[in-house]
Amino acid sequence: MKNKLLNTALIVSMSAGLAACGGEAPSKQAAPQDSSPTKETKPSAEKVKIVFGQGADQTEGTKKLVAAFQAKFPNIEVELRDFPNDSSQTHDQLVTILGGKSAEVDVINLDVVWPAEFAQAGFILPLDRLIKDDNVDLSKYLKAGVESGYFNGQQWALPRYNNSGLLYYRKDLVKDVPKTWDDLIKQAEQLKGQGGTQYGFVTQAKQYEGLSVSFTELVSAYGGKIIDDKGNVTVNSPESLKGLKQLVRIAKSPAVPSNLNTFTEKETLTAFMEGSAVFARHWPALYAQANDPKVSKVAGNVGIAPLPSGDARSAAALGGWLAAINKYSKHPKESWEFLKFMVSAEGEKIIAINSTQTPTYLPLFDDADVQKASPLFANRDFVNGLSSAIPRTITPQYAKISGIIQVEVSKAIAGEQTPEQTLTNLETQIKQAVAAK
């Protein structure tokens, strides 16, 4: 089972075509003008304090991680600094700190869509030389996670824990798990109303980041790209049009709630756990809650699978966090030692067991202790779904581009403009956003 699971994860990860969104695999490209700090000298033998900033951890995971690191490096003290668990607030605080060239934090957690922005702004250090000198094997990590930290020919951040969209379904109602989006819509319409359900399918379609994610997944599933590997805006393509039309078709299907355009993760979770939906698109966090009989009416009947495929593949948008080093840190070598430990097998195992965050170091999915921490970690369908993840568009202008997508795709779903006009608008506005920088 162990070898089969790991082989499946590695094979799917390497063959899922993720390079289409993040460029060629980082481990194979030479980093131009590498300005990484060198390892010519070891971290100082004197006592040094570094500060690690991330969203507040409500578990004991981070404390145990720091304790394990300091046991190995007693000369490096790690102080934890809690940032808001609201991603936007954390982003703004970090931009303020790093924009002021402050050294008050040394190692930082970055949302998967931030590395390109922070790299272009000159806020974080490139890691290529450090990775090479210490023989960090990036091929053993979730490929999309590595790619999310790769921008402009260099590796700027390394993945700590990631997640991706999954298809949830009622095992008591679904006999054959749909493999394609066409099949999902067909089954959702046929099974709606069975087993006390009101809807065949629920997903995120409100005008917010979740809609941008849905658009990215459908476009990618049909072979489209928002921005290609060379930085060209390619959203207005036949492949993207197929993906957008499928998204509009889903939103207008009798299988979904009439107010699907108000659904975020919260509404999706509630509908599925109350037994109102046959299928749901959601993140891994839903799994444990949906199987808890204290809060869920469908506990014991919850199945998961990779998101359905379009003409090209199954594509699930990547979520999660990466670690990077503040360019203005006064202790870059000690910061690297801590970052390297966090993403090591030992560091990620501590977080997986104590915080149940999904590891990005693929061999850990074969670790018995990790598998005991969450049923998901031993579930081949989950590993396959995670391995089919794709990075969201890697660009310093991601936030602006996502906002444009949300507005224009909402209009298409509402029937205010055709999918063709939507892509034309997206092409024009995204080009303007990229050019403005």
436 Cβ contact partners less than 8 Å away, ≥ 6 residues apart = 397
> 5: pLDDT confidence band, cut at 50, 70 and 90?
very low
Mean pLDDT (whole number) for 318-329: 96
Assign domain 164-316+394-436 to a CATH class. alpha beta
Residue 2 above 50 pLDDT? no
> Could you identify the residue written with the tokens 């948008």?
317
- β-strands 158-164, 316-325 pairing: antiparallel
Query: Are domains 23-163+318-378 and 164-316+394-436 of this chain identical in fold?
Result: yes
State yes or no: pLDDT of 327 exceeds 80.
yes
Which among 405, 360, 351 has a CA at the least distance from the CA of 211?
405
Q: Contact, 176 vs 145, CB < 8 A?
A: no
First to last CA, the chain: 49
| pLDDT at residue 381, rounded to an integer | 87
pLDDT score, position 356: 84
* Contact predicate 148/322, CB 8 Å: yes
φ/ψ (deg, to 5) at 95:
-60, -40
pLDDT, residue 12, reads: 33
CB atoms within 10 A of CB 66: 19
Of the pLDDT bands very low, low, confident and very high (cuts 50, 70, 90), residue 141 is very high
Give residue-wise pLDDT tens across range 37-85: 655 545 556 899 999 999 988 889 999 999 999 999 999 999 999 999 8
For 151-157, what is the mean pLDDT?
Answer: 96
Looking at the predicted structure, is the pLDDT value of residue 422 above 80? yes
Check residue 120 and give its pLDDT: 95
pLDDT higher than threshold 60 for residue 187: yes
Per-residue pLDDT tens over the stretch 228-250: 988 899 999 999 999 999 999 99
- Per-residue pLDDT band for 18 (boundaries 50, 70, 90) equals very low
Q: Model pTM greater than 0.75?
A: yes
Which pLDDT does position 16 carry in this prediction?
Answer: 31
Q: Write down the domain spans for the chain.
A: 23-163+318-378, 164-316+394-436
User: If you average pLDDT over residues 84-112, what whole number do you get?
Assistant: 94
Phi-psi category of residue 194: left, alpha or beta, with phi > 0 → left and psi -120 to 50 → alpha: beta
Q: How far is it, in rounded angstroms, from Cα 90 to Cα 68?
A: 26
The residues facing 359 across adjacent strands are 161
Buried/exposed 36-45: b ≥16 CB within 10 Å, e otherwise: bbeeeeebee
pLDDT in tens, 251-274: 999 999 999 999 999 999 999 999
Q: Average of pLDDT values for 281-305? A: 93
Using alpha carbons only, what angle is made at residue 308 by residues 303 and 312, rounded to the nearest 5 degrees?
155
Residue 184, pLDDT > 50, answer yes
* CATH class of residue range 23-163+318-378: alpha beta
